[in-house]
Amino acid sequence: MSTPLIETIHTSKIFEVRKGLLGVKRHIRAVDDVSLNIQENEIVALVGESGCGKSTLGRLMLALLKPDEGQVKFRDKDIWSLKGEEFKEFRRSAQLIPQDPYSTLNPMKKVISALYPQLLKYKIASNRSEARKMSAELLEMVGLSPPEDFLNRYPCRLSGGQMQRISIARALSVKPSFIVADEAVSMLDASLRIEILDILLNLRKKFSTAYLFITHDLAIARYFAAGERIAIMYLGNIVEVGDTEEVIQNPMHPYTKALIMSVPVPDPKLAKERGLPPLRSLEIPSLVELPSGCKFHTRCPYAEKICEEKMPELREVKNRLVACHLY
Amino acid sequence: MEGKTKRSIVGIMLSAVRAWIYEPLTLLATDKRAVAGFLIVLFYVGLAVIGPMVVPLDLTPNLERAYLPPSLEHPLGTDPWGRDIFAQLVHGAPDMLVVAFLAGLVTVLIGTVVGIFSGYSGGTVDLIVMTITDIVLTIPGFPLLMVIAAFLIGSGIEVNIFMAAALLSITSWAGLARAVRSQILSIKKEPYIEVSQTLGLGKLHIIFSEIMPNILPYIVMNLILSMIGALYSYVGLMALGLLPYRPGNWGAMMHMAMAVSGTVTGVGSWYVLAPAAAVTILQIGLVLFSNGVDKIFNPRLREK
């Protein structure tokens, strides 16, 4: 494999929480020893239930959060050791598309002010009128036309779908090589989702951008990362990484199996046939008091003695990475 | 808009007038109370600017004309020394407005800077700054002002309007600083701030271009409310005789009225009522006007 565009190397992020007035400080390992790499022009879908650390991992990769352990490398350089021009280049190269379209734009500022400051900062446009022209082109690119209608609007006069398109235009305005799309379509109407996903996929062809596509929806991940990779996350750990279609068709990690089982199927017969012994518990363990050994053993139908004692490492099994003692 | 790279100076000025004067006024016009307040404030400003040039002030005592009721010659009657009350009010107006505005400005400036600094820095800096702010908050403002004013008079230092303004904002910034800080705390977690960060737009851009527009309506509103507070304190200190006498000052007029017991006998009631009414009506105007401010600055409240 060539040098990845961006990779985390045994990266952990620990948050401190204090319970009660005089409570003891506790630590939450939101991201726990995660090693994940993304190649140039690659899509990696990151799937997991809410609170499992997906967004935290995304923010670590964007240098919005500093890892407490391990490293995040961009083109083989630790992003926290970058200085001056190099860091500026990283800031231009890695962008975010946040989840909630309604808070992704500054409510007090016109649409154009979400686009032109960065065009001027990175000298993509040499003056204001050129920046304005480019902003209009960006809006047209994400399907907002005529763009002049939108440039001078305030976000309160836009729909959720329109805001998300502008959010995409803003992320692409600096021609990044890597984008973290954090649940970018989960708050949109189902009818709009595919449309927005297609815009992202089409623009990827044009700009060859790599994506970390964070979602809790397997169907969306399957559509967006078709032919690419998927990573399954559970309580701060990556438990399975592999080709999207292979992982979904033939999940290996019990958690992945459970996750795929949980997707409702319209045919009850078919649903029964998919067969997986029921989970031992439906309760997600507390992040503050994580189970020993494999974090999934409290719920895993296949759990054995070793699962309670030893944390399984991510190992290569049949063309994919799985963290489970079964393999 | 393409092609119009070079605009004439006149064009820029016209669009500036449109953006900063015409559009805010049309937005203001949708709120009747705000319009009323605006007109009252405008009247006072006119009074302060033009009044002293038109109405002559004669402070020579003429006891024959003392305590005259309102008439055409003396619209608000005369004081115990036979001087025109209206003329005194008019000549006191610039002083009142300038001190109120300056004090409001200083209050808002300190409050905003401290609030933004504390909220944006977070952590230990936030803790220290907010502890100091809390201590200032617990100090009773007016009594402290009385003590300082009395001290200034006693030490013979000449109190100019800038000192008066600084004095009046000595404790009033704390409440605003706390409010601004809490707003910053919630705004700085908004996704659009995160995106500005990943775009590498820098702290100054984030504070002035992203956060500021969000708290600006609140700050302007507080500017007006601080002016109201400062005006009361200023009149109060003057009425208690704790600041050096300034002829025509509304508070000083009340002080003189009380000194000659116009308040008790009722003979000189015009002398005490006129400045009191002048202050009250100005305050009402400011309060009403402040209602319209939010509408001007907040695009979500605009209806088109």
Cα–Cα distance between A34 and B285 in angstroms, integer?
Answer: 62
- Structure-token pair, residue A160: 């959720």
Reported as a single tens digit per residue, the pLDDT across A253-267 is 999 988 888 877 777
Q: Categorize the per-residue pLDDT at A272 as very low, low, confident or very high, splitting at 50, 70 and 90.
A: low
Backbone torsions φ then ψ of A236, nearest 5 degrees: 90, -10
pLDDT for position A127: 86
pLDDT for position A274: 65
Which of A226-230, A303-307, B66-70, B273-277 has the weakest average pLDDT? B66-70
Q: Average of pLDDT values for B150-168? A: 80
- Domains, chain A, in order of start with CATH, read 6-108+154-322 (3.40.50.300)
Q: Is the predicted pLDDT of residue A269 greater than 80, yes or no?
A: no
Q: Complex ipTM, two decimals? A: 0.86
Q: Is the predicted pLDDT of residue B293 greater than 90, yes or no?
A: no
- Structure-token pair, residue A60: 């670590």
Least Cα separation, residue B14 to chain A (angstroms): 18
pLDDT for position B264: 63
Least Cα separation, residue B207 to chain A (angstroms): 13
pLDDT for position A36: 92
Cα–Cα distance between A124 and A176 in angstroms, integer?
Answer: 12
Q: Is the predicted pLDDT of residue A67 greater than 90, yes or no?
A: yes
**Type of residue numbered B217:** P
pLDDT for position B297: 77
Cα–Cα distance between B263 and A252 in angstroms, integer?
Answer: 92
Q: What percent of chain B has pLDDT over 70?
A: 94
Chain B residues within 8 A of A132 when measuring between CB atoms? 1-2
b/e A285-296 (16+ beta carbons within 10 angstroms → b): eebeebbebbbb
Q: Is the predicted pLDDT of residue B261 greater than 70, yes or no?
A: no
Contact B213 A106 (CB under 8 A): yes
- Domains, chain B, in order of start with CATH, read 83-303 (1.10.3720.10)
Q: Average of pLDDT values for B86-108? A: 87
Q: Is the predicted pLDDT of residue B92 greater than 50, yes or no?
A: yes
Reported as a single tens digit per residue, the pLDDT across B121-156 is 888 899 999 999 999 988 888 888 888 888 887 787
Q: Which residues are CB-contacts of A224 (< 8 A; sequence separation ≥ 6)? A: A43, A45, A197, A200, A201, A211, A213, A215
CB contact, 8 Å: B15 with chain A? no
Q: Is the predicted pLDDT of residue B5 greater than 90, yes or no?
A: no
pLDDT for position A139: 92
Q: What does the radius of gyration of chain A's CA atoms come to, in whole angstroms?
A: 21
Contact A203, A141 (CB under 8 A): yes
b/e B35-73 (16+ beta carbons within 10 angstroms → b): bbbbebbeebeebbeebbeebebeeeeeeebbbbeeeee
pLDDT for position A275: 62
Chain A residues within 8 A of B205 when measuring between CB atoms? 117
Least Cα separation, residue A221 to chain B (angstroms): 22
pLDDT for position A290: 82
Cα–Cα distance between B112 and B217 in angstroms, integer?
Answer: 12
Q: Categorize the per-residue pLDDT at A271 as very low, low, confident or very high, splitting at 50, 70 and 90.
A: low
Q: CA of B201: which chain A residue's CA is closest?
A: A118
More confident residue, B121 or A272: B121
Contact A98 B195 (CB under 8 A): yes
pLDDT for position B34: 86
pLDDT for position B303: 54
pLDDT for position B132: 93
Q: How far is CA B235 from CA B162, B172, B189, B263, in A?
A: 16, 16, 42, 16
pLDDT for position A2: 75
Q: Is the predicted pLDDT of residue B176 greater than 50, yes or no?
A: yes
pLDDT for position A143: 87
The pairing of beta strand A43-47 with beta strand A210-215: parallel
Mutation for B interface: A106, A113, A116, A183, most B CBs within 10 A: A106
Give A42-81 as a DSSP string. Answer: -EEEEE--TTSSHHHHHHHHTTSS--SEEEEEETTEEGGG
Q: Categorize the per-residue pLDDT at B1 as very low, low, confident or very high, splitting at 50, 70 and 90.
A: very low
Task: Give the range with max mean pLDDT: A146-150, A284-288, B4-8.
Answer: A146-150
Q: Is the predicted pLDDT of residue A11 greater than 90, yes or no?
A: yes
Contacts with A, B 206-235, CB within 8 Å: 209-210, 213-214, 216
pLDDT for position B4: 45
pLDDT for position B84: 80
Reported as a single tens digit per residue, the pLDDT across A77-117 is 999 999 889 999 999 999 999 988 888 999 888 899 899 88
Q: What percent of chain B has pLDDT over 90?
A: 19
- The structure's pTM equals 0.81
